[in-house]
């Protein structure tokens, strides 16, 4: 169980579910040609998960000091799992992920794609060891990496098989996938700031310069409220522009995404302690889940 907590298995399930829905729900709805067979697609998921596991582990290793203050009951590395063991697991999972990326890149005839896995793995290490301490910039980087778990499916499935004849359709599909990636980026970015508010005490003692430390919890909450409102406006614009003829989709987005985000705005206005911010963080994770599940709608509305 300690190992499962170390690799954040619930987050891994979310990543795998997202990529599976892209391949088997979103792409078929648009009748899109894809590159990878089921085995190679499984290897793409595995590569993504291995690199993500490496990122989670190295993050735990560098967070030993702050977690001891913020979440002493959840400290894993150094107490339940030795730090040397955690470092070994980090190297192992990252190595496997990068090697699988190397294999897949050559399998689809695009060797330069291998660089994506190297860049993502390196960025996760730099984030955990340095960027996480920098206000906003670290939040942006990790949110881009979350969004990349969606885009990498499009890179490997759509680009290698793109021709002059299907370029228009494939490009539209890439745009739709980019829209989902932007959604994932925004929700994760907001959630990262909320988590920083929760962890402000430990981060301050560790010498970090997160947004709540620089601006204070109250001002940061207001900034987060504004970001959430902007996200709501973007989602409403998307629904009105692209889904206005599909009542089922409109109802789904209003109930499962827009409504909960409005609730988040209200809770941010009244939040005072860590339990409140923990609840808000959970709500954002649920919004992310429903946003990803909305890929199933496209089979019904197209």
Record the pTM.
0.93
Residues of the chain with pLDDT under 50: none
pLDDT digits (tens, 9 = 90+) for 193-232: 999 998 887 777 777 888 899 888 889 999 999 999 999 9
Q: What is the DSSP string of 215-233?
A: H-HHHHHHHHHHHHHHHHH
CA distance 50 to 12: 9
pLDDT of residue 302: 63
Query: How many Cα atoms sit within 13 Å of 181 on the Cβ side?
Result: 21
Taking residue 18's Cβ as centre, other Cβ atoms within 10 Å add up to 25
pLDDT of residue 65: 75
CA distance 77 to 87: 10
pLDDT digits (tens, 9 = 90+) for 28-70: 988 888 999 999 999 999 999 999 999 999 998 888 777 777 7
pLDDT of residue 75: 75
């Amino acid at each position: 169980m300690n190992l499962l907590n170390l690799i954040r298995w619930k987050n891994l399930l979310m990543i795998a579910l997202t990529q599976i829905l892209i391949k088997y729900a979103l792409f078929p709805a648009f009748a899109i040609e894809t590159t990878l067979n089921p085995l190679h697609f499984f290897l793409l998921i595995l590569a993504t998960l291995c690199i993500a596991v490496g990122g989670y582990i190295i993050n735990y290793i560098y967070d030993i000091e702050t977690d001891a203050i913020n979440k002493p009951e959840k400290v894993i590395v150094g107490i339940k799992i030795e730090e040397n063991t955690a470092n070994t697991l980090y190297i192992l999972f990252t190595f496997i992920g990068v090697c699988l990326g190397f294999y897949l890149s050559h399998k689809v005839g695009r060797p330069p794609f291998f660089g994506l896995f190297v860049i993502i793995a390196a960025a996760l290490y730099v984030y955990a060891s340095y960027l996480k301490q920098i206000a906003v910039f670290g939040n942006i980087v990790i949110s881009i990496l979350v969004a990349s778990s969606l885009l990498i499916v499009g890179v490997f499935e759509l680009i290698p098989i793109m021709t002059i004849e299907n370029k228009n359709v494939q490009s539209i599909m890439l745009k739709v996938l980019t829209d989902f990636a932007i959604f994932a980026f925004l929700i994760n970015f907001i959630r990262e700031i909320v988590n920083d508010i929760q962890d402000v005490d430990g981060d301050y003692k560790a010498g970090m310069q997160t947004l709540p430390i620089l601006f204070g919890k109250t001002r940061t909450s207001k900034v987060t409220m504004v970001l959430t409102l902007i996200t709501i406006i973007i989602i409403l614009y998307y629904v009105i522009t692209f889904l206005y003829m599909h009542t089922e989709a409109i109802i789904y987005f209003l109930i499962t995404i827009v409504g909960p985000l409005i609730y988040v705005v209200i809770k941010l206005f009244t939040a005072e302690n860590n339990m409140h911010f923990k609840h808000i963080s959970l709500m954002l994770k649920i919004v992310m889940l429903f946003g990803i599940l909305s890929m199933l709608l496209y089979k019904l509305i197209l």
